[in-house]
Every structure is written in structure tokens, then in C-alpha cells.
Structure 1
Amino acid sequence: MAKEAGFPPGVVWNRAGRVGVLKQVPRDVWDHPDWVGRSRTVERSTGTADRAEGLRRALRMLVELDDAWEACRRDLRREPRPVASMTASEAEAFAGDAETLLDLEFDPEVAKAGGEALPGDPGELVGWAARSLGLAPAAGLLPALGEAVAARLAEPTPTTDRARYEAEARRLLTPGPRRRRRMSLAELFSLFEADPRRAGLSGRTASNYTTAKAVLGDVVGLGAFVDQVDRDDMRRVRDALLALPLAPATKRKYVRAVGSLFAYALREGLVEANVALGLAPPAAAAEGALKRRQFTADELARLFPPGWGLASPVDWMLALGLFQGLRAEE
């Protein structure tokens, strides 16, 4: 710290080259709980190297220190409350308060730096704690209070079971299972249809979901909760869709529409799994029964007279194209 001729008392340049405050704690406040065990010198920095700004901040700090010390003086001038006697429980409570004050006020680092430490003798500690608590115990109480304080300080400090602490911390910090909102199939369809990502669906695609909704309503019931629909329900819905008198490809689209609905429910957190996943039958299996057979030679002869001269596959391809009215680009 370096003093400057133009600075008022208490304002200095600190070692970092910034304006700071250096003041001695007044002797008449040393016994105040705010200053017991602390350094007798106050060093504070304004945080700026600008002379004018630093001086302004330092003067404000000095005023705040003077106000704080004056408040300490007012506390010390208050008359302590006389205490003629204490019960055993009151003496124990006093010892607990003394221990708490000791923990709050005693700073080992300050003591190492040369500051005044709290008294180690229980008798002296009783007097210090009593003053801090605004009490004036009778002389006959001091030995008993000293014994209570000594016994309290002699108790072993409880140790923390770190493994148990970490396990409990993990338990508290781990989020519990998310509660899902229960929703009926009818509500799910409404939410699904209102999703902005489905705004551009074609009329044909939208009709797939309309049919799927109707079959779901017939088989499961639209009032059923989504999270109660299981795989067996989905198999019955699939079988009902595949039994419709429609083309196999169309029926597969309806089954896939049901799968898309439950995939949406899974994405929205309404179910734990898509129970309709993989229910659509393979195209070959669904269409195998309706696979068209080839024309026989006799059938082709009846369709095309012998004079057409259809000797090669290309001839037959051109003839069939003409027969069906196909355009050249087709």
C-alpha cells in the first residue's frame, strides 16, 4: 500500500496499482461479534486505477465502514440481560449457541495471519458468548456454563457417510418416470389429424386414415385408451382390414395407416411402444392369391386371327398394345 499526498486518510494505492482503502479497526469495537477473531486492519480495493473514480469509491467505502462501526458501538452499549439461574436444558442450549458462534466467528486463516483468535478456555468462551448473546450470567452460573460448553466442544464432530450421501443425491437428482397423459383413440385421431405436418396430405391418403379409424372403432372402440391397446388388438384390426373386399395394395395402406397412427402416439409420449409396428403383410404374400396367369396359346389364337403373323414376342407386344389402345410413348 502506498499513500499519496492528495488522498485523505485511509485512501491509498494498493499493490495492484488500484485505489484502495486501508483502515485500522477501532479498539472499542473489537469485542463486538462482528469483529472478534478478525484482522484489526481493513484492506479493500475499489477495483479501479482511475484516480478520480477510485477516490469517489474509496470515500464511499470509508463512510460505510464508519457507519458499520458506529452500529457496533450501539450494540456494545446495550445493557446485557441479567441471568440469575438456568435449567439444565437452558444451559445446554447456551452451550449449543456458544458452539454455533464459535463456528461462525472463528476463522483459522485470520488467526494464522496474526489476527486475534477466539479464547480457547471454556470460561473465557462463556463470557464472550454471553456478551455476543446479550446475556449477563450471574457469577455462580459461570462454572456450570463453562462445563456445559466444554462438554459440548468435546463431543465428536459427526462424520458424513459419503457413499450414502452420494447414493441419496443420485436418487434425488434422478428424474422419476414420466407420467403419460391418458388419451382415447378418438382423441388421438383428432390430435393426429390436426398435426401441422399432415396439412398437405392428399385426399386419397387422408381417406386411408378415415378407413383405419372406422375399423379401429369397430374392432377396439374409439373410447379405448391408447395405452391399453395391445398387440392382440392390433392383430384383430389387421385381420379385419385384410378381409375387406379391396385390392391387396390398398389393404396394406390401411394397415400402414394404423402403424403411422401409433408411431405418432409413441413420438408424443402417449405409449411406450408402437404395438402396430410390422403388422402389414409382405406384398408378395398378400397378392399371391390374385396373381394373374398368362394367356394360353388357344386364348391368344381366338383373340388374334392367324393372318396377323405374330411370330415373335415383339410382335405380340405390339399387337397387345394396339388391342388395349396404348399410345406410342406407353
Structure 2
Amino acid sequence: MAVSNTNNTLPSTFYLTGIPGYEEFHNWISIPFCLLYLVGIMGNCTILHIIRTDPRLHEPMYYFLAMLSLTDMGMSMPTMISLFRVLWSISREIQFNICVVQMFFIHTFSFTESSVLLAMALDRYVAICHPLRYATILTPRLITKIGIVALLRSAFAMIPPLARLAYFPFCHSHVLSHSYCLHQDMIRLACADTKFNVVYGLVLITVLWGMDSLGIFVSYVFILSSVLRIASREGRLKALNTCASHICAVLILYVPMIGLSIVHRFAKHSSPLIHFFMAHIYLLIPPVLNPIIYSVKTKQIRQGVLHILSPKKH
């Protein structure tokens, strides 16, 4: 399936890989992935609908939750078409321009989700450490600015490495190792000096995800310090319970991300099935689990879901 390019010109087409050696099971493997995508889309759309239609939820915490739902869908949905085209044996080809656009959305929303989780940590910090000033600090205008800055920061950060791809010759294989396009996957195929892209990618991950995770950690240091000063045990548990969903969301994003990095770095020769599932778990787990967690742990969201399921009883 590899395509050679003797003139070192930019190829118009790349080829996506499903699970080498498991092609006969592609149709069966597509079933759980299709269900996961549907659950993720329905769950996040439900969260957005509840927040939009219930005036009681027009508060900073739920605005940030709406941002999380939007970034969850933005992170996973760009891979849907190419994944099912591969698994259903429709086509493994993907145009270079479409591949770059797909990379842009996947990476941009991945970084944006990390920023939104940082904003949610700051929201919990203000709510617990400065409850009397909560509404005056986190105004709708400030929340809007935070969302715009988080998205623009991630989008502009992805422009330099993706723009350089247009100048790389691809004179060897044009076969990508996933069923969707990733920046680190494509630069391995380039017949040029990719040092800038490699270093830039590492710096970008370290700076953006590193700063966000550090901000989340510092926020929870202050939150725990404030919670421990609460006299009653019930008060401490109630304060910590408001953070439980957010902590789960942080783990759901970062644990699969770390797992995927470990597999790529230390398990390069492991089964293609492991690489395939790890690559998609990283994009699918947050959109699927975040709505479930917030529906279970957040009373107002849970009531909204029950109202949708049985409107006559609520």
C-alpha cells in the first residue's frame, strides 16, 4: 500500500492503517467504537441541553462544564469518519489537506480541554476559598474570555508545525500507523530535517499541558488547605464532593494520554491491537465518561437527566 514519490513532491494522498493482521475482525471491532461514539455524542449533547434550558444552571461551574462537553466532542468527532471508513473497508485514503485539518482539530481541542480543566480547577478554588466573591470574580464576561483565550491559545500554537508540513517531501511510505492523522505520525514519514517539528512538539506539550497540570495541582493545594480549616467533618466532605467530578475528569484526560505516550515510547513492538485501542481510548474515554460522571456526581445535572428520561414524573 506504500506509495513512492521519486520527485520528492508533496503527496496528495496518505493511507490510514486499521489493525494490521486483524482486518477480518474490522467490522466487529467497529461495533463497540460506534456505540462509544454515540454514547459520547448523546451524553455531551444532553449536558449542553440541560445547561442551556435550566436557568438554575446559568452559573460559572456549569458554563465551564458546557465548555468541557464542547471540547470533548471537538476532540473525538474529527476521527469518526476516517475511523469507520477504514474499519468498514470503504477507503483507507485520506487527502493531505484533510489530514492536516484533522490533525489541527484533534490537537487543538486536546490542548483546549486541558485548559478548560485548569479553568474548572480555578472555579473550584474560588468557590471554596472565596465563596462570598464567587459571583463577582467569575462573571459571564470573564468566563467567555477564558474560553476564547483557551481555544485561541491552542489553535495558534498548532499553526507553525502544521504549516511546515506543506514544505516536507515524503519520498518513502505514505502509510500512517493509525486510522486518523497525528502530527508525530506524519513527520516520521518525511524525508527532511524535522528537528523543528519534533522539538516544537515536545516544547508545546511540556509548556501547555505542563502549565495546565501545574496550575491544577496548585489550585488543589490551596483548596485542600482551605478545606482542612473547615471545622465540621460534614462541611469538609461537602466541599471535597464538589471537586470529585473535576478530579475524575482530570484523571480521565491525563491517564490515557500518559498511557499512550508510554506505549509509543516503550512498547513500539507490542501488538498492533494495543496501539490501536490506546490511540482511540485517548480520544474516546473523556467524551464518554465525563457526562456520566457529572450526571452521577452533580445533583442538578442528574435531575435534568431524569427530567428528560421521565418528564411526567419531574
Q: TM class, shorter-chain normalised?
A: under 0.3
TM-score by length of structure 1 reads: 0.21
Greater relative contact order, per chain length (Cα 8 Å cut-off, separation 6+): 2
Higher strand share: 1
TM-score by length of structure 2 reads: 0.22
Higher helix share: 2
Q: Higher Cα Rg: structure 1 or 2?
A: 1
